[in-house]
Amino acid sequence: MADRIKAMKALVKRLNEAAQAYYAQDTEIMSNYEYDALYDQLQKLEQETGIVLSDSPTVHVGYEAASSLPKKTHDSPMLSLDKTKDTAVLADWLGDQKAVLSWKMDGLTIVLRYEQGELAEAVTRGNGYVGEIVTANARVFKNIPHRIAYKGTLILRGEAVIRYSDFNRINENLQEGEAKYKNPRNLCSGAVRQLNNKITASRNVYFYAFSLVRAEGVDFANSSSRQFDWLTSQGFDVVEHVLVDRESLPAEVEKFAARIGDNDFPSDGLVLLLEDIAYGASLGTTAKFPRNAMAFKWADETARTHLLDVEWSASRTGLINPVAVFEPVQLEGTTVSRASVHNISVLRALQLGIGDELEVYKANMIIPQIAENLTRSDSLAIPSICPVCGSKTVISDVNGSAVLLCPNPDCQAKHVKLFAHFVSRDAMNVEGLSESTVEKFIQKGFLREPADLFHLGDHRQEIMQMDGFGEKSMEKLQQAVSRARTVSCPRLIYSLGIPGVGLANAKLICSHYKNDLQKIISAGEEELTAVEGIGPVLAASFAGYFRDPVNRQRLDHLLDEVSIEQDQEQGASSLKGMTFVITGSLEHFSRREQLKEEIEKAGGRVAGSVSSKTTYLINNDKTSSSSKNKKARQLGVPVISEEEILAMMGSGQP
């Protein structure tokens, strides 16, 4: 018994540390696969011994979030769901009842409250009992209705998620010298819990309702599926769902599973919610689980293989990331031979060594991961020198995880990423010049600084002898390079790869200085912070870049090769000097982003919130009692309709 209790204490400690990192710090120190396995092991020991330790995660859910957001106690506890990976167990649990089967989305759970048809409050799940108030952030979610037809008190729950497409876009556009976001869930959690909702808005957070808690005076005929339909009628996006019984359940689970690879949103299983509301409520709850629903998690298909190598991939930011290479195996219908090990902390926890026997799987049936190292030889050496430039590496702490870094600012790997960024679509837009081709050109010495791009023709014969290149491809490359000789000021600034400076920030700075490049590169930190939307950190990074004589020299060389055109979005001037805020539904545009683009083309600027600097608030409902309309009235900011802004731009229709 003593050994079992000791094992339980060790499991509780590990699981609580993982939960603390996951819920409060938006980081992961173990995979979901490992967490579930340890959790099941702990639960089995508790059942065998009859002992449940006071801090066991089987009776406590989540942790207090470490932030300065205000807290609120939930009206009713938000318990987690009991789970199974066996369809037969799920069917036995359902019995002769009907239930709603839906996606179990992998994001951050949010509780919304509406009063008199208006969004009044949004609170995170937190520890299940106390959450954080994030109302201002919820207002900038992409699909939450600010006003609904129902005028009573409405409380509902749902999942805030970031789609894979947006997650990949955000990672690709990162300019800071930091590690990329590990997964959409972590990015979403950080986005929802921001203190500045402008950042939340930029992350494209979506909300999908999965449970109705209260709607006074509405008769749902004791049906969960009718609750979902009613929420849809109020303008909410509801998790995709289907009504099932015991016989149809297995086939419907298979249909959901077959679509995982095509989904643009992250999910980690399914949820089965009893259709009979009253019956479900009569079942009550356990200390941790409600009895009216059960989660189904995919039974991860695993395979055993052997580690062949660990590749160390140096990046533009200086991070050197380990990637495990193993004997190819079949998982979820595809051949898998590689998996990211993420960082030094994960690598050390796995105790890897060449030849070790590994158990691998696909997280959420998509992302290859190492579930377990069965050998644990712990013989793998961490590189002491950068695999690209040979500089001495350093191990540093980033957000609580140990990472391997190359500190050499002139590391060739950093040049590869910088050049790939330089020629990318939003920068110099050199079509057909991939990162792999850039790497080959750098290795051959064709590219040492940005201006060298415009002299690739000097190496024409050598390039045409390279794999994948012939006369036609060389001609296309030279034509693309020639087109890049004319570039707008914002795209030129963005192309330089200044840490933290995305295309939107480059546009703000260039617009402020009227595309005067000399003023832009001479601007000091204090001066730059006067540009609306540019904070002190970004200003310091921007000014510091141009203080570096090497950077200035490279820019001078580049300016000998290119000419700066008036940015297309700055070309017209009918709205020059004006700042707009857009709210409410639109009639002529399907998305606000489209109207924003038209305003910017006419010389205007679009902000996320109303301030004393706002020229006009655009809202087709001028009498709205929304927070933006109220703020506009307080500050004396005129409210205009979509028709009026179109007339000001002289367009009439987009």
Active site residues: 104
Q: Are strands 605-607 and 579-582 parallel, antiparallel or unpaired?
A: parallel
Residue 597 dihedral angles phi and psi, to the nearest 5°: -60, -40
d(CA 469, CA 420): 18
CB-CB neighbours of 73 under 10 Å: 10
Beta-ladder partners of 272 = 101, 294
Interacting residues of 202 by C-beta distance below 8 A, sequence separation 6+:
none
d(CA 466, CA 456): 13
d(CA 561, CA 455): 9
d(CA 531, CA 513): 9
d(CA 99, CA 273): 5
Interacting residues of 6 by C-beta distance below 8 A, sequence separation 6+:
none
Measure CA 29 to chain center: 18
Task: Give the residue from 384, 238, 284 showing the smallest Cα distance to 76.
Answer: 284
d(CA 123, CA 156): 11
d(CA 60, CA 78): 11
State the Rg of the chain over Cα.
Answer: 28
Measure CA 475 to chain center: 38
> If DSSP codes are grouped into helix, strand and coil, which group holds residue 249?
helix
Measure CA 263 to chain center: 15
CB-CB neighbours of 359 under 10 Å: 16
Contact, 377 vs 397, CB < 8 A?
Answer: no
Residue 601 tokens read as 């083309």
One-character DSSP codes across 13-71: HHHHHHHHHHHHSS--SS-HHHHHHHHHHHHHHHHHH----TT-TTT-------SSS-E
Contact, 82 vs 104, CB < 8 A?
Answer: no
Give, to the nearest 10 degrees, the angle between helix 164-172 and helix 184-192.
Answer: 80
Number of DSSP helices (H) and strands (E) in the chain, helices first: 25, 24
Burial grade of 393 (CB within 10 A; 0-12, 13-18, 19 or more)? buried
One-character DSSP codes across 310-367: EEEEE-TTSBEEEEEEEEEEEETTEEEEEEE--SHHHHHHHT--TT-EEEEEEETTTE
Contact, 415 vs 443, CB < 8 A?
Answer: no
d(CA 417, CA 318): 10
d(CA 207, CA 614): 28
Going by the DSSP 8-state scheme, the letter that residue 196 receives in this structure is: S
Contact, 79 vs 61, CB < 8 A?
Answer: yes
Longest CA–CA span in the chain (Å) reads 81
